[in-house]
Amino acid sequence: MAIIITDECINCGACEPECPNTAIYEGADDWRYKDGTSLNGKVVLPNSKEVDAEEAQEPISDEIYYIVPDKCTECQGFHEEPQCAAVCPVDCCVPDDAHVETEEELNAKQRFMHPDA
């Protein structure tokens, strides 16, 4: 399952540089699938969604840092635990019940975004 940042976020930014997938963005910032990944041009994501990796996407939150569920792998393939949660001073990086994925699915997503890792 992906991680979500709750509204208890104090916008400290500690989580953002820790994400190996560049799935964390400051509130109101646009995001792209290509940011921090090997994705380019038109791609079909593991969830079968077709996207342009280079196209700017609307922010998920305008107020606090947010995590893009399609890019979050809970740090599978990189670290033992989600790094955003490990560094968060207010424990607002928690599992997202709306985006439940198995360890296999998370690893497949990681390999898809970082085939050379």
Q: pLDDT tens-digit profile of 57-88?
A: 999 999 999 999 999 999 999 999 999 999 99
- Band (pLDDT 50/70/90 cuts) for residue 116 is confident
User: CB–CB of 65/9 below 8 Å?
Assistant: yes
User: Which token pair is 29?
Assistant: 């910032």
Span 7-30, mean pLDDT?
Answer: 98
C-beta atoms surrounding 85 within 10 Å: 18
Q: Give the closest residue to 53 by CA, choosing from 44, 64, 65.
A: 44
Residue 31 dihedral angles phi and psi, to the nearest 5°: -135, 165
